[in-house]
Structure 1
Amino acid sequence: MVVNDMLQLTVAVTLHVVCYTVYSINVSVCLLLLLLASFATMNAPLSLAAMAIERYVAICNPLRHSQICTVHRTRILIAMIWAAGLAPSASDLFILLAMQPPSFFQSSVLCYSRNIFKSQYLLYKNQASNAVYLSCVGLTVMYTYIRVLFAAKAATTDRSSAAKARNTILLHGAQFLMCMLSYVMPLVDFVLLGLFPAQRTAILFINYLIAYVLPRFLSPIIYGVRDEKFRKHLKGYLFRRSTFQKIAPANALSLKII
């Protein structure tokens, strides 16, 4: 998840810097960046669904968790997630290669998805694939959350683990809803740019922050701050730093007096 978020943010920032500085780049380079961004964006909800299933197995089938969630199976699952995320981008590439002449890939355009994928067929295909992927992920997150919620209520022992798993899946759901913003934003861009064409730069930048940057802030919270060991070291670091800042001025004052 962290690697995928790093890839997505790197490509998205590169695209925005290129659009604001160079304006137009080679179609082949733009196509590569757009496919990488689409691939990483599609991977995010699929990874959330896989992690929700892992929490479901750990709480509802704890005796079989070590047998089901092995390292080998986890690697296979990660490969399947990346293959499923790559499938829509690969199909877009093959369709574009079949529809456009070679000269198109040697030209320069403003690196925006609508300038590359102009066919209405590709638009409808992407809408259908996004609906299927997001529906499957949404149902998976909802099902695992409900099952873990019932397991937490029925548990007589180890309620803290069940409650932590329930809260984790709930945060997965919130992160999933925020990931869905990336699929809604093209429509929002179309509406806002039609209403305020003079504010194109500001609209695209603000929507980019909301749809792509903000959802990635939840990953450090879910997998960092909520971890007991990490939180302990973070508190210790912040406490020592604040103590040092308080002591340093006092030492400096005493040196001046001497």
Structure 2
Amino acid sequence: MQNLTEFSSNATSPMRLSVIIKVCVVVPFFCIFLFCMVAMLHTFASHRQFLESTRYILFSFMLVNDSLQLLTSVLLFLFAMAQLKIIIAFCTPLLFLSIVTFQNTPLILATMSLERYTAIFHPLHRPAAWRSDRIWITILFLVLVGSIFPVVDFSISRPHPSVDVLSTLVFCKSPNLMSSPVQTLFRVSQNGLFFAVVAIVILFTYIRILLQTRSMRQGRVSAAKAMHTVLLHGFQLLLCMMAFMLPITESLIVLHHDWLPEDLNFFNYFSFILIPRFLSPLIYGLRDQGLRGYMRRAVQCCRHRVRPNATGKPHIRSF
């Protein structure tokens, strides 16, 4: 019995070390992402010109959406690493929020591209819903559209009447709650529809702005900036679509490398879920000259707020 216990302990220690390494990689990465998102949102809330711009309001909504998506994703990751079972009543909202925020991102990108399109072609006759004081109507519409399909999906997967959702413990993973072939086909179809429609919208707006840029004599600079912005939205869409690379990478890695299933899942999660979600808003935010300038000033103010005086003690500057 003692030898069996020692063998079991030696076998599980590498797995525990692997779990610790994965957690130590994901949690600091998420903290850095969250710090950047909070800094951007604080910059938006602190300056009126951002709150009066439709483009920045939509970008702020995308920051909040991606932060919620990664927050739920990291929580589910930590539950999986800890092999922790939770009740269905708590797991279902987490999965629902994760799916809704995942689908909202391409919708927001399409809306931001259309906003640039209307700003170029209809600068004086923009629809009322595109104004900064009424953009919340568009945002609510996006949330509603992004929630319809997950509601239908979860309605299909109603638990058996004998299962108590308030007491039954499960590993909080999508296959444990939504594993029927009908649901799998439904999710694949809806994701393909979402990303296809968004890709068409972005491609249409990019081509129209490109043609307009070549024919315009005045306002050529603003049209070129709008074209580059729409092109960046296309790149952000490609980053979001990297999540659909999971089956391809799994088959390629299994064929060429002898990876453990948990290591393969972590590689896919970190490479195709975390990194794209981190890069997408960061690239777009730091590319903007106005936002970058305000964030640089904020960093400089924090850096000069505390200065050592002659006695070696920090001197707090008052503003």
- Into which bin does the TM-score normalised by the smaller protein fall? 0.7 to 0.9
Matching residue of 2:81: 20
Matching residue of 1:103: 163
Give TM-score, length-normalised by structure 1: 0.83
Q: Residue type of the partner of 1:49? A: A
The answer to whether the Cα contact below 8 Å between 1:5 and 1:40 also exists between their aligned partners in 2 is yes
Give TM-score, length-normalised by structure 2: 0.68
Q: Does structure 1 residue 11 correspond to structure 2 residue 34?
A: no
Q: Does structure 1 residue 191 correspond to structure 2 residue 251?
A: yes
Q: Which runs of 5+ in 2 are unaligned?
A: 1-61, 313-319
More helix by share: 1
What is the correspondence of 1:212-223 to structure 2 with a 5 Å cutoff? 212-216=273-277, 217-222=279-284
CA distance in 1: counterparts of 2:290 and 2:112, whole angstroms: 20
The answer to whether the Cα contact below 8 Å between 2:65 and 2:101 also exists between their aligned partners in 1 is yes
CA RMSD, aligned part only? 2.9
Q: 2:124 aligns to what SS in structure 1?
A: helix
CA distance in 1: counterparts of 2:212 and 2:197, whole angstroms: 22
The answer to whether the Cα contact below 8 Å between 1:189 and 1:204 also exists between their aligned partners in 2 is no
* Percent sequence identity over aligned pairs: 30
CA distance in 1: counterparts of 2:131 and 2:228, whole angstroms: 23
Match of residue 146, structure 2, among 85, 102, 105 = 85
Q: Which runs of 5+ in 1 are unaligned?
A: 253-258
Match of residue 51, structure 1, among 112, 115, 131 = 112
Q: Residue type of the partner of 1:125? A: F
Q: CA deviation at 1:72?
A: 5.2
Greater Cα shift, 18-27 or 132-141: 18-27
How many residues align? The count is 246
Q: Residue type of the partner of 1:15? A: L
CA distance in 1: counterparts of 2:269 and 2:222, whole angstroms: 36
Higher relative contact order (CA 8 A, sep 6+): 1
Q: Residue type of the partner of 1:54? A: E
CA distance in 2: counterparts of 1:170 and 1:121, whole angstroms: 36
Q: For residues 193 and 31 of structure 1, do their structure 2 counterparts lie closer, same or farther at Cα, with a shift above 3 Å needed?
A: farther
Moved over 6 A (4+): 237-243
Q: 1:71 aligns to what SS in structure 2?
A: coil
What is the correspondence of 1:10-159 to structure 2 with a 5 Å cutoff? 10-65=71-126, 69-71=130-132, 73-97=134-158, 100-103=160-163, 105=165, 106-159=167-220
